[in-house]
Structure 1
């Protein structure tokens, strides 16, 4: 029965997705658009649309239902299908534009790297439903070509910003040592992530626990040991001069910066529960080195984004809308997932 359903769906998808009245044998060779004179075939366009369509449906189908692709996402009438196609076209353009710069930056793929790509292509073909791969126009050689192009584009992008050094002051990456413990008052999560809230009595008990840990830590001068004595797991971490780009609890960090080295905060109430923090040292060399590297990488990502925008602005992109419209996103692919 499942085979019959898939067969019927494939027929419907072909009729609505690739258009009637075209010669089937030439569909894949039609040019959907060009990027600086480089042809992007209907086959490549269809492949990326379908594989991304599949991913979006895996994430959102349960939420939005079978009509998700006709759902309007803004006041201009743009549908989710329109958004998907726009994102995919930008992805394809970025990949080709970056790969076109490979020679300029002296980048090429070695034999070993191509062997790794070959293995990834084989793994890719084994990871998806055969019917989905067929509908996406994917065979191993085609997937290999796409993965090799993507790998080349990634290396070209890395080369484009390899020598870029963002302007950083020591204050930007200076880190000081902290140790903190969180006594949660929200509840416990099971293996599936479902939360069982604490009762009022349990919340009160855990509040008292936070204050007990604080008191003991101040008596012995060591929050880490005090927390471990109570069966809690302390976190040895670091803080910067500000909370910018720092994913830790802001209220906890603000309190830590008010402490002298060795001092321990009062319990800090947050939405998650009670934090207690100790300022352990005024310079954490390892954390400062890590943070400098992190901010450098972040700066290079921002610079790369600017470069990619410039390449897009300078690119000559021509579109055959009739060909592109043959890839029609209307029917969900749930039988092929």
Structure 2
């Protein structure tokens, strides 16, 4: 049985999708989590869990298979257990973020509240009573509460991240650049199928790489590679880089500009590289942005972690275990829209004039 449910998320704008499911045996008013003095009802917990479940079943079921929720996500933990743990942490964070709003002067505007209220009302209008009863928490009040928490999380995340240090020196972010040639231990046919070289073929490929590494020392890297019909790639790196490989970046990082590496062998093949610059400004500027973003994310994560550690959190396991992803299948389908609707309306107005 497939029933339609709207799931909503607020992340700068409002996106609407549909949930389809078959049954529910959870009492909405039961308490699933207690965070400080705030109680998270089973309805709120279940609806948010179903929304998260929908994302996984929509985008990963084809990869993980029909029995995805019983598949192992990590050692000793199924996907259902892993995702439910993530949902639990999300809910704890959202409650704590709401509790600390005043510290960051964060509020929801009347306009934002109106958007949330309308979204919840639209949900109620689109779905009949029978359909909504299939998913615990699928009522206007609960949907509005979930959307409010998600909206607060977005605004609080921005406020917390704003406190991160955005000053990054050239020295801290410095990036070098290289040219390199890859001698692969795999063959790919016209249909895209990949096969492993034999041990003898790998030995011959490594010998070719060694010959190239020796010959290119006294030649222009790109010209020498072209003469042998070898493809030259480029990359920017520092001592911690892992692309194209960590070992190649580490060896190249010890060289002066214009010097070449020896043969760096990996499981997939051999690399030979030439350092073309000890300071790539464009790549360094990009790295600075990456470092700032990392600092912001770390500040947000650490702040939430600190609050969770300080808070009195209780998980009501007898309620929480009733949220079972195997008993209720849920998928997401984005609402269909006419991309030409606005244009058609504009055209009609123009013709009317």
TM-score, L = length of structure 2: 0.65
Tell me the SS of whatever aligns to 1:180.
strand
Once the two structures are superposed, residues 206-261 of structure 1 have per-residue CA deviations (whole angstroms, 9 ceiling, x without a partner) of 556645755675454233x5445655553322222x22x64441221132124321
Cα RMSD, aligned residues only: 4.8
Distance change >3 Å, CA 103–CA 230, structure 1 → 2: farther
CA contact (8 A) 1:102 1:153 kept: no
Once the two structures are superposed, residues 279-308 of structure 1 have per-residue CA deviations (whole angstroms, 9 ceiling, x without a partner) of 112212222222233223323333332211
Once the two structures are superposed, residues 39-76 of structure 1 have per-residue CA deviations (whole angstroms, 9 ceiling, x without a partner) of 4222221123334445556747976874954989878x
Following superposition, the deviation at residue 115 of structure 1 comes to 9.4
Distance change >3 Å, CA 204–CA 298, structure 1 → 2: same
In the other structure, the counterpart of 1:179 is 179
In the other structure, the counterpart of 2:301 is 305
The structure carrying a bigger helix percent of its residues is: 1
Can you give the 5+ residue segments of structure 1 that lack an aligned partner in the other structure?
A: 4-8, 19-26
Q: How does 1:157-168 map to 2 (within 5 A)?
A: 157-165=157-165
Q: 1:263 aligns with which of 242, 246, 259?
A: 259
Tell me the SS of whatever aligns to 1:306.
helix
Can you give the 5+ residue segments of structure 2 that lack an aligned partner in the other structure?
A: 3-19, 334-353
Aligned residues: 309
Separation of aligned partners in 2, 1:165 and 1:285: 21
CA contact (8 A) 1:181 1:276 kept: yes
Distance change >3 Å, CA 268–CA 155, structure 1 → 2: same
CA contact (8 A) 2:28 2:43 kept: yes
Distance change >3 Å, CA 43–CA 284, structure 1 → 2: same
CA contact (8 A) 2:69 2:325 kept: no
Following superposition, the deviation at residue 97 of structure 1 comes to 1.6
Tell me the SS of whatever aligns to 2:101.
coil
The structure carrying a bigger strand percent of its residues is: 2
Once the two structures are superposed, residues 76-112 of structure 1 have per-residue CA deviations (whole angstroms, 9 ceiling, x without a partner) of xx77655443332111111222233334213345688
More displaced, 273-282 or 140-149?
A: 140-149
In the other structure, the counterpart of 1:49 is 49
Following superposition, the deviation at residue 168 of structure 1 comes to 6.8
In the other structure, the counterpart of 1:6 is none
Q: 2:272 aligns with which of 248, 273, 276?
A: 276
**Structure 1 position 101 matched with structure 2 position 82:** no
